[in-house]
Amino acid sequence: MKKTSWLELSQYFSNEKIRASFSMKQSINSGIYKVLDFAKISGFKHDLIAIPNQTHSINVRKTIIGGEIFNTDGVFSFNPKVVCSIKVADCLPIFFAHKTKLFFGIVHVGWRGLVNGIISKSIKLIKNEKVSLKNIDVFIGPSIQACCFEVGNDIIDRFDAKFINRSSESKYLVNLQGIAKRKIEQEGILKKYIKVSKDCTFCQFERYFSFRREGHKSGRMFGLIGVK
């Protein structure tokens, strides 16, 4: 498999021991159907893959073991033998890593989780582990952007008005990345340590799957973070 079939994200973290990767359409088209397969092909040698059973909840967990974690949308770990994973197809994959310590995690953030408080829950977990927020790097990965995340009057009131643009009489475009970044800053992580991908999963048909574009037949991208 060519390296271009997945994204190496380690450069977004100042901790040189952290490795992060994100699959693309080419990964799946090359026969990578399971997160365990993608972990191996993208350079992880670990057997302990933490796999949350995502439900668009605000539940986040710390783990020291691999395997499936029920009703969870974010996983964190101190264990260098664990790789934290999620799967997405428009939702925001948000990666966290300490600048010097072996502490890392990844969170699946859809619009429901975003407005219901999954970012606050994630930051609370970090603080409960006595980890300084001033030493955390964050990367918001490829996801549906403000150009394509369109919603109607039924849910528009759930979003911060500063991140909304009207697209028609009854439709609005929402900047989920902007909302997420603002929430992360408000929770105490320094603005200069938060990086955001400009890739839109809806627009970039050749690179990414999109649930909004393809519906239930859509594939998924995998996000991974762990220790090299």
* 195 torsion bin: left (phi>0), alpha (psi -120 to 50), beta (else): beta
pLDDT of residue 5: 82
pLDDT of residue 46: 78
pLDDT of residue 32: 57
* DSSP state for residue 133 in the 8-state scheme: G
Give the length of the chain: 228
pTM of the model: 0.95
For the chain (228 residues), the mean pLDDT of every run of 10, in chain order, is 75 98 80 81 89 97 96 98 97 98 98 98 97 98 98 96 94 98 98 98 96 93 96
What is the Cα 148 distance to its own chain's centre? Answer: 18
Read off the tokens for 218.
């859509």
Sheet containing strand 171-174, edge to edge, reads 150-152, 171-174, 164-166
| Contact in structure between 46 and 226 (CB atoms under 8 Å) | yes
pLDDT of residue 47: 80
Q: Is 81 helix (H, G, I), strand (E, B) or coil?
A: coil
pLDDT of residue 169: 87
| Contact in structure between 73 and 57 (CB atoms under 8 Å) | yes
pLDDT of residue 195: 98
pLDDT of residue 2: 46
